[in-house]
């Protein structure tokens, strides 16, 4: 089990255990003032892979999905958001600047459950997104940067550009489920394995035996987003 404390609407919630059980739950966000701050996320000085499922009720200009609390404030910070229906990912280079790219998904983010996976490869110096188990377009070149600033706090839903929590803007209207972070570059086959292990049942994401076949060894964070 990997317990990680987080704050929801600014209040402390008990540690979230990793549970390997079938489920059909997700956490909803209202687009206005609902956000989670992970107070003690894992340290990621090198390679990383981020995996999660999203469902958007609208198409925002900046619909925050996941990001460092200090995005746009610190180097090696990051943000992932819905940019008018495209997937945006950026990595901070220093205070006030970042490198970024957007990718157009094969299935609309609006009114659909979709799996998004972001692979940060510090050897190749790239970020490669995957959408519903398939790689998307050309990778983003990030040079010598990484996402190590995540250790200072991570927002789930919404993000700010001044280190403020809770964010007052850019909060998603929709749902997020099965947020997982690995401290390695997952292969395309492993990402496909995660996608195939998950299905949408009754309008919610249902996962069974998600982290098997060696995935557990690199799993450093898993938030089941309200699952019991």
Residue 18 counted as domain residue: no
In the chain, pLDDT over 90 holds for what percent of residues?
49
Residue 83 counted as domain residue: yes
* pLDDT tens-digit series, residues 16-53: 333 333 345 788 888 888 888 888 888 899 999 999 99
Q: Which two tokens stand for residue 179?
A: 């947020």
Interval 176-192 mean pLDDT:
93
Residue 194 counted as domain residue: yes
For residue 168, the model assigns a pLDDT of: 63
What is the domain count for the chain?
Answer: 1
Q: For residue 130, give the CATH number of its domain.
A: 2.60.120.200
Residue 150: DSSP 8-state:
G
Please answer whether residues 105 and 131 qualify as being in contact, where contact means their C-beta atoms are separated by less than 8 angstroms. yes
For residue 37, the model assigns a pLDDT of: 86
Q: What is the pTM of this model?
A: 0.86
Interval 74-96 mean pLDDT:
92
Q: Which residues contact 140 (CB under 8 A, 6 or more apart)?
A: 89, 91, 99, 100, 101, 126, 127, 128
| Residue 8: domain span | 4-13+23-223
Say which residue, 214 or 55, is predicted with more confidence: 55
Say which residue, 139 or 3, is predicted with more confidence: 139
Q: Is the dihedral of CA 196, 206, 6, 93 positive or negative?
A: positive
Residue 228 counted as domain residue: no
For residue 213, the model assigns a pLDDT of: 60
């Amino acid at each position: 089990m990997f317990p990680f404390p987080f704050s929801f609407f600014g209040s402390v919630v008990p540690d979230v255990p990793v549970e390997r059980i079938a489920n059909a739950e997700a956490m909803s966000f209202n687009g206005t003032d609902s956000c989670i701050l992970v107070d003690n996320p894992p340290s990621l000085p090198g390679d990383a892979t981020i995996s999660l499922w999203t469902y958007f009720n609208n198409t925002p200009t900046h619909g925050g999905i996941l990001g460092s609390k200090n995005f746009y404030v610190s180097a090696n910070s990051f943000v992932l958001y819905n940019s008018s229906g495209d997937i945006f990912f950026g990595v901070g280079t220093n205070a006030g600047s970042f490198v970024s790219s957007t990718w157009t998904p094969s299935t609309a983010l609006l009114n659909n459950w979709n799996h998004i996976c972001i692979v940060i490869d510090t050897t190749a110096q790239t970020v490669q997104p995957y959408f519903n188990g398939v790689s998307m377009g050309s990778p983003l070149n990030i040079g010598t940067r990484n996402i190590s600033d995540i250790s200072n706090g991570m927002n789930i839903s919404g993000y700010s550009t001044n280190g403020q929590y809770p964010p007052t803007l850019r909060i998603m209207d929709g749902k997020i489920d099965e947020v997982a972070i690995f401290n390695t570059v997952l292969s395309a086959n492993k990402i496909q394995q995660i996608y195939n292990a998950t299905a949408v049942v009754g309008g919610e994401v249902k996962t069974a035996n998600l982290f098997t076949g060696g995935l557990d060894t690199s799993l450093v964070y898993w938030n089941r987003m309200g699952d019991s």
